[in-house]
Structure 1
Amino acid sequence: MARTTRRSEAGAAAFFLELASPLAESVIAQAREIASKPCAEGFHQLRVSMRSLQSLWWFYRPMMDAREYARQRSIFQSVAGAAGRVRDHDILLALLNLRMKDTALPASQISAARQAAVEDVKDQLSPSALQPLLQEILRQASTSVAAGQQKETLKAFAEIRVAKAEKLLRKRLQQALAAKKPDLAAFHDVRKAGKKARCLLELLAPALSGDQRKTLRRLRQTLKSLGELNDVVASEKLLRENPLLWPSKNSKPAKMGHWLEKERKRRASASAQLLRKKWAKTLQ
């Protein structure tokens, strides 16, 4: 309790490294795991940590140099994108496993493409590349934050920034709920805003007033549903952009494409229902 009180009353800038360093260390730990065993979970967790860093940078954006902020965020996005290129293949393979009744589906071609993607990003995601890069970014950002003009306590600053993130989330939810039929673009916007809000609520809960558990519960349920929808959308995109994943003599692409289309519509409908159930009353 005393630690929570001190954190709430101390200046926000003083806690930058305390919040950022564990996220950077998580990225490096996942990079080491990937280097020894490039499993699906490693790429997923590295991507999650990179997105958390992006959310934290957004939180501290008012204290940062604008050009440095943009450059560092671009690096985070590039690293997350590299992990995402492998992750997309893992998602497609997982969806193929749901389609086990169709035993002729060419998982071997997709696995080979995944391995090629692993090789393509290996240098960018290596611990020897990421560790000095993140250490230098942390050093630069810490200096920038310390020199910033904002002098609010962590509690006051967190209330302002989290409120802004929640305001954007409400706007995106209203847009999605206003659509007459499931709108994939609107769902994607909700997902992005929701991830940022969830990350900040999880990171900053001790410094915030009130009980955030109900909001976090709704957010996690919402993001799970939207994530499942996004998996299908990403797999459809991967197959469209990489037709050689399927041998031309095989007629299975049409069947798989039809199944993915049906699955996308089913998951989109489920997401729309969940948004109405969990959020409609809170937005009135």
Structure 2
Amino acid sequence: MKSDSESTLQPTPEASAQQAFGAYAGPLIGETIALADAVHDDPSPEALHKLRVSLRRVRSLWWAFAPLLDKGENARQRAVYQFLATAAGKTRDWDILIELLKDQPGGAKDLLPKLQQARGETLAVSRDTLLNADVKHLLRDAFTTTTAQLNTAHMPRIALHKFAAKRVNASERTLKKRIKRARRAKRSDYAAFHEVRKAGKKLRYLFEFFGPQLQGGHKRMLKRLKRLQKRFGMLNDTVASATLLRDNAALVSASGSGSGEIDAALDWLNRERKRRLRAAAKLLD
């Protein structure tokens, strides 16, 4: 199945990167606005996940075109997308924790209702944040501002296929450096593995945006990146869930759950983290 970026009508390789921006950003902005609207009616984990992913792709697209944009303005726009993604992601983080603990042998049944309550309270805050932020206005304004900047800047025009190759090559170099660093890192150094995940995700998005403009096949690399992202994402789920539960232990305990049950859940998440870290490390060989 093709991604939304792949199904969009692609610019010609000879078009300038400046001209091509709108062809990438327009449909993506429209999709993200629709997903933000849907969250107000659909509180499901899947709806929030789709919105967060779409906002990440928007942020990655602005990063891809960063060399052609004013640094200050680009940083401001990407910070807005990060803020919106975080708002959507807070509820999603509870969903991940709940799904993980459903697999914990025997120990989390009494804890789950408390986590569901916390998830509902967080959802209300996430919805209010997204509504008050006026996502539609923010994204449309960013699109208009960036498009105007690209069309009026005095920077030399660069062919899209050349620009795409440069950005993908730069992203590939970053990923290779981070993989090399993670191979040398201790297994307790989760930050090194997290950096690999972020670099791999960024490169994957670039391949999805610019794939038709690149010379040579990239399907094998894209397949490997998807596998890496999935396995490293599973690792990140355990780390983030343990942090979330630990940070909210007092809140959950106040709702009636004993510290013993929370400690048991944290121990299980720690074992899962170690198992998933070993599985993720195998992809670096």
Q: So what's the TM-score if we normalise by structure 2?
A: 0.91
Percent identity over the alignment is: 38
Cα deviation digits, residues 51-93 of structure 1 (max 9, x gap): 1111111111111112211110110010011011111101001
* Residue in 2 that maps onto 1:68: 73
User: Pairwise mapping of residues 37-116 of structure 1 onto structure 2 (< 5 A)?
Assistant: 37-99=42-104, 101-102=106-107, 104-116=109-121
Task: Call closer, same or farther: CA 1:217–1:152 in 2, change over 3 Å.
Answer: same
Give the Å deviation of 1:150: 3.7
Work out the CA distance in 2 between the residues paired with 1:109 and 1:150: 58
Work out the CA distance in 2 between the residues paired with 1:253 and 1:267: 21
User: Pairwise mapping of residues 1-284 of structure 1 onto structure 2 (< 5 A)?
Assistant: 7-99=12-104, 101-102=106-107, 104-126=109-131, 129-148=134-153, 149-181=155-187, 183-243=189-249, 244-246=251-253, 247-249=256-258, 251-276=260-285
Task: Call closer, same or farther: CA 1:43–1:65 in 2, change over 3 Å.
Answer: same
Give the Å deviation of 1:180: 4.5
Give the Å deviation of 1:100: 5.4
Task: Call closer, same or farther: CA 1:258–1:4 in 2, change over 3 Å.
Answer: closer
* Residue in 2 that maps onto 1:282: none
Give the Å deviation of 1:104: 3.0
Give the Å deviation of 1:127: 9.3
Work out the CA distance in 1 between the residues paired with 2:169 and 2:274: 33
Cα deviation digits, residues 211-251 of structure 1 (max 9, x gap): 00011011110110000000000101101111122435352
The answer to whether the 8 Å contact 1:28/1:127 transfers is no
- Structure 1 gap ranges (5+): 277-284
Work out the CA distance in 2 between the residues paired with 1:212 and 1:5: 17
Work out the CA distance in 2 between the residues paired with 1:33 and 1:6: 29
Deviates more, 1:249-258 or 1:130-139: 249-258
Work out the CA distance in 2 between the residues paired with 1:127 and 1:162: 36
Work out the CA distance in 1 between the residues paired with 2:161 and 2:242: 43
Give the Å deviation of 1:121: 1.8
Give the Å deviation of 1:111: 1.0
Q: Secondary structure at the match of 1:7?
A: coil
The answer to whether the 8 Å contact 1:182/1:269 transfers is no
The answer to whether the 8 Å contact 1:124/1:130 transfers is no
